[in-house]
Structure 1
């Protein structure tokens, strides 16, 4: 036996729609209803801190947000745009610079962590109009195409040569019981030591050739 449904009795679908709408409104602050932004204290910018360091041989002192990366300090505050922002996750190496002679991904480190540091960017490799030997070798060997990764490649290669001169071994070194010498720098060694720098154009063979050429003439 069935019973007639009163005309004013809501259907199941209408009931569920009403409940869903009420639940959604209950989770939204009152100030959001009608499109108004929520009330609250104003967001206060972080206080600036002074970072004093040397960049390409020139002393610099800048007041920056403490959250500023070294990359943004170089590009946005000092306008040294040779250092590139690629992945911004430390995976591509386009932002590589030298900090106290050692390579660093500038997108991953805060500027405030390097007081009195000596930072070298690609703009600081050349001596006036005289190209750094690696820069000249990259041009000669056609070691770049779009050029976006090239500044990081050059800084990383500069550190590579310094590491080899210091006798540092790598994962590709067959005999780690003796100091590494420049004469031991094979193509495999160069590839391993440059593996943190990606080239989306695929100019790797020419990059290796350029580094090998400079290493062959290094004292």
Structure 2
């Protein structure tokens, strides 16, 4: 496990706190499964959510106690999605899961939820992968590297598209004013997203924190 971090003589307190919050946040989910009383389960899940939100706010490009923040942030959002699912909040669970994919589609696909990723994203990206395969034949790009890189990017693009749809749905369903609360105007209708999906590729390499993290804690 990457949480078995590299040996160091000392850690910054903040680094220790981040890793502890992630570890005990995950542990609290497991304890919630074993809870005999609904009140205990509810309390443990709330506690887990609070702890997992700490590493979720890290800068993805950094490193904490020898562990890449990308891994910590992705892991945090994945387990936050489990917490929300256990709390029967499927909409927030889906948003957290999609955020984990936006942070690192490869980690989610290979370490956390390979079957789910395959069922949700593989068929959606298959046609685009074939189209990009034709482009690759016109370029001198190694086949394996091309396939891995583009599968990750296509998965991220689909996750971003799904997330925009869900956020739009949340606004229309609950009458929330997310844009005014956060000074945002980037929650677009599904119709607009479908028409402009092809234009997202130019900005898909940016850190997911630039926009997607802002819904955290709502």
TM range (shorter): 0.3 to 0.5
Structure having the larger proportion of residues in helix? 2
Please say which structure displays the higher CA radius of gyration.
1
- Between Structure 1 and Structure 2, the one with more strand by share is 1
TM-score relative to the length of structure 1: 0.33
